[in-house]
Structure 1
């Protein structure tokens, strides 16, 4: 909104105040208002024309109220400056405002234009920033609650990233997320409050969620009412008995246990409603009710010469595993049984399913649906079957049992079957077949695996430039009828050739400089992997050169074709987006380190002031901080800080760390026949003196062994090059070992007084 718009508003008020009886003369008022609006439009256009085409002299950014962050204002100024261009136009003003809003960090923006001489204009952007959460913490107020941790609740929030814009509604929503999670765990009286603490900037806050869990709700009653089934059979199975703590997870597990009990009674398709949970606030208890019908007795039969065990049936067949008579589940069982038998050498197996119901289902008042038919399987899900007996029968025609002795590939010279055999799921019969676990005695394949293998070969050909290649599978049997031969038939078609290559959006480097960074592509078969590799190399080149904002993308023009050969010609274009200028590091600022010294954090970084900013250095710095085990969270963000005299950009690096408990205590013990009773205690400190050093002490004691050990590790002791360090490790230990194992006594001593023999203080042999 520009300054002349304020003039419009004031002019409107003045004109309306000069119209006597304006509110009481609607007809005249409307006509006058129309004239005023026409006049204001002319004034508006004339004001725009006044600045249109002028050279933009200066662009400044100011924040509302007492927000005076210079670094942030410089960042927004650069965004607006890049969008405005050199000449003033209302379109460019709109683009600049849009770019500012796209940062998702501003609540409102106004633009003021003022003259700067006869042919220049100054622009001032007045911005109101959104509040940003630079640090988020969860504090559990209850003194003793080991059911969950603060970290666990923190991961439920969507405010984990430092710098996330927040509103009051955002904080309420996140508090509700915590409450919902706690109520699912049975803490219906839980309370969540949040508070914001201002940091250095007015719009940067630290958010703390204070969680009071209070007592967990217990179970008052759990009523199970399944028509036709004795609820007493569930009593010993379920966990949610009266007085037990309640949680949704436990309830879901109990419902599954109820289904298991029904399945054990061959009731595979019960109709159970959703459990109804009623919370009584005064008792802090819940009443649970589960109703339903037991459904029919279901028997699943697999008729085959090669029998399938009950456990395998439960794994393969959705009807038994999930407890459903849905037709899709029955058909899925057919497919899985076929794959099961094919993987065992019955490569031409055919499985069909038929169903029967006793007493028979009525199709109409005078006719029945015929049993032992596939049609009946499709009608089971919509029928009332309570009190009936249903049989689902899978008929497996195994055919011959064969050995997969050969896998062949025809129709392409790009690779041989030997080259790709390791990538195929289908396996020939081999010597590993003597090991039942591997199951390769007769080979390994199925219709599903053959489809996947054909897709694998097809994708390999497409990566080599044959984008229209097709692959089909032939299954042949040897003359003696004992062996199977799989042949993949390829029709690769003409190759797709890269006819041209262009690079757009680059101003800092010439096309020749960029083309020298990538392998030769023009004139070669099109390969998406090669294109992605070239894109990666260009991105790395820009990153190493300091163009941190540059993004390289590629596009393909596949509309051309060689009229002589019919080959499809692809034109590949690499586009350098947002090339910008070189980015140098101005300052490295660390926040969130309460126990860790700032210089220790800076020493672990590969980022230094006045150096070029590279994405690889940011990644390496994050890894160095995480590997110290002193931090549970690390966030590294660049923030623009202006420009250098040569026109390149400078940026501040903001590092936000979340420290974790630095001490780890481990202890344990046991008993063995050689050592007797033994135990150990191990304590480690992961952030000694706040310098990211590590130290530990270990004590291990048994009747025959004693060990005491101290160690110290400085992972960054001496520099090894510019960005690497040589570590320092110091260790001291005392060990006493009077153990002679049974192995040595039996193998070397042979019961004699040899060199391996334990003696007492007087030199007498102990054993």
Structure 2
């Protein structure tokens, strides 16, 4: 290490230590040097919303300091922590001073010590609104969107993180429906009917835009006649796109392969690319897998029944767990038949 670099690091460490010292000094100035003194009065002051005596009393009961007790910085910090953990506040600070409200110090106290906890109440969900202007035949459903929402039940805490996460959940739902260029914004406002001022009306404004359509559906599966199944697919060229339709088409392709005797086809995750013209190109690759023959000896069952009870024939899985499950179901079926 060079000498210049050594002194540079030394200066940086000194600057950090000075900054930490200044922070500690600020805390001491805010609470004063009152360690060990008897507390004259303790009060909770609500900031930013109307006074609520019942809420103030509940917050007071959670504190670790009380009138007549000894003041310690540890108990003040514990009180602040208790306020946060109560879920009633989103911000809190403590102040200590020798200036009390009239009559708070009592007749026999010469040097009163008053502790005030100034809090901003935690905002709560009162109502969630969806502002979404879509035609009657739209595939978008307000009920489906509401099932995607998380941590927004009435009475839940309202935070920026919760609102952003739910906007992302709505955006994901819209993408699944093929609305790749949708816009989702959110806002909150105090419920005018709430006297406490903490109940919030949360509004998500949704501008879905146009649903993407299919430019091409490219299927690459060696040794499989793709054209034999293509007319059965939902995602034809120029049709609107959705993840549900894609999943249905992939299952149609899988079942077509299984019918050829290849009971374990491998299909990779479909790759969907959105073009500037709001049209998607779908690329699906895979393989037909091995030819699998299923024989049930000494007992006769129709092929339809075997497909219903054996996962290996119905789902195209030759995993050991699927074979064991098929054995169990086949045994049950035989026992049902006596």
Distance of 1:198 and 1:82 partners within structure 2: 27
Query: What does residue 211 of structure 1 align with?
Result: 206
* Superposition deviation, residue 233 in structure 1: 0.9
Query: What does residue 292 of structure 1 align with?
Result: 286
Q: How does 1:234-383 map to 2 (within 5 A)?
A: 234-282=229-277, 284-304=278-298, 306-345=299-338
Relative distance call for 1:182 and 1:68 in structure 2 (3 A) is closer
Asked if the contact 1:142–1:214 (Cα under 8 Å) also holds between the matched residues in 2, the reply is no
Query: What does residue 603 of structure 1 align with?
Result: none
Q: State which of 65, 70, 76 in structure 1 corresponds to 2:51.
A: 70
After superposing the two structures, state which structure 1 stretch, 233-242 or 167-176, moved more.
Answer: 167-176
* Superposition deviation, residue 145 in structure 1: 4.8
Relative distance call for 1:176 and 1:204 in structure 2 (3 A) is same
Point out where structure 1 has 5 or more consecutive residues left out of the alignment.
1-25, 346-767
Q: State how many pairs are aligned.
A: 305
Aligned to 2:206, what secondary structure does the other structure show?
strand
Q: Which runs of 4+ in 1 moved over 4 A?
A: 43-46, 118-121, 200-204
Query: What does residue 33 of structure 2 align with?
Result: 47
Q: CA RMSD in A?
A: 3.2
Query: What does residue 109 of structure 1 align with?
Result: 92
Distance of 1:319 and 1:151 partners within structure 2: 36
Distance of 2:49 and 2:255 partners within structure 1: 66
Query: What does residue 83 of structure 2 align with?
Result: 100
Relative distance call for 1:68 and 1:323 in structure 2 (3 A) is closer
* Superposition deviation, residue 287 in structure 1: 1.0
Query: What does residue 70 of structure 2 align with?
Result: 88
Bigger proportion of residues as strand: 1
How high is the TM-score relative to the length of structure 1?
0.37
1:187 aligns with 2:187: no
Deviations 1:582-620 (A, max 9, x none): xxxxxxxxxxxxxxxxxxxxxxxxxxxxxxxxxxxxxxx
Deviations 1:212-271 (A, max 9, x none): 112211111112111011111112221111121111011101111111111111111112
Relative distance call for 1:136 and 1:274 in structure 2 (3 A) is same
Relative distance call for 1:325 and 1:118 in structure 2 (3 A) is same
Query: What does residue 59 of structure 2 align with?
Result: 79
Relative distance call for 1:318 and 1:143 in structure 2 (3 A) is closer
* Superposition deviation, residue 344 in structure 1: 4.1
Q: How does 1:432-511 map to 2 (within 5 A)?
A: none
Distance of 1:172 and 1:84 partners within structure 2: 35
Larger relative contact order (C-alpha < 8 A, sep ≥ 6)? 2
Q: State which of 121, 132, 139 in structure 2 corresponds to 1:140.
A: 132
Relative distance call for 1:226 and 1:141 in structure 2 (3 A) is same
Distance of 1:286 and 1:183 partners within structure 2: 12
Distance of 2:285 and 2:124 partners within structure 1: 49
Bigger proportion of residues as helix: 2
Distance of 1:57 and 1:89 partners within structure 2: 10
Q: State which of 161, 183, 197 in structure 2 corresponds to 1:169.
A: 161
Query: What does residue 8 of structure 2 align with?
Result: none
Distance of 1:46 and 1:186 partners within structure 2: 60
Relative distance call for 1:82 and 1:104 in structure 2 (3 A) is closer
Q: How does 1:694-709 map to 2 (within 5 A)?
A: none
Larger-gyration structure (1/2) = 1
Q: State which of 204, 213, 220 in structure 2 corresponds to 1:225.
A: 220
Relative distance call for 1:144 and 1:212 in structure 2 (3 A) is farther
Distance of 1:320 and 1:272 partners within structure 2: 17
Aligned to 1:124, what secondary structure does the other structure show?
strand
Query: What does residue 43 of structure 2 align with?
Result: 60
Deviations 1:401-459 (A, max 9, x none): xxxxxxxxxxxxxxxxxxxxxxxxxxxxxxxxxxxxxxxxxxxxxxxxxxxxxxxxxxx
Aligned to 1:101, what secondary structure does the other structure show?
helix
Distance of 2:91 and 2:119 partners within structure 1: 6
Relative distance call for 1:318 and 1:252 in structure 2 (3 A) is same
Point out where structure 2 has 5 or more consecutive residues left out of the alignment.
1-10, 99-104
Asked if the contact 2:65–2:76 (Cα under 8 Å) also holds between the matched residues in 1, the reply is no
Aligned to 1:49, what secondary structure does the other structure show?
coil
1:149 aligns with 2:129: no
Asked if the contact 2:65–2:71 (Cα under 8 Å) also holds between the matched residues in 1, the reply is no
Asked if the contact 2:63–2:83 (Cα under 8 Å) also holds between the matched residues in 1, the reply is no
* Superposition deviation, residue 76 in structure 1: 4.1
* Superposition deviation, residue 203 in structure 1: 5.1
How high is the TM-score relative to the length of structure 2?
0.78
Distance of 2:76 and 2:301 partners within structure 1: 74
Distance of 2:163 and 2:32 partners within structure 1: 46
Q: How does 1:675-754 map to 2 (within 5 A)?
A: none
Aligned to 2:148, what secondary structure does the other structure show?
coil
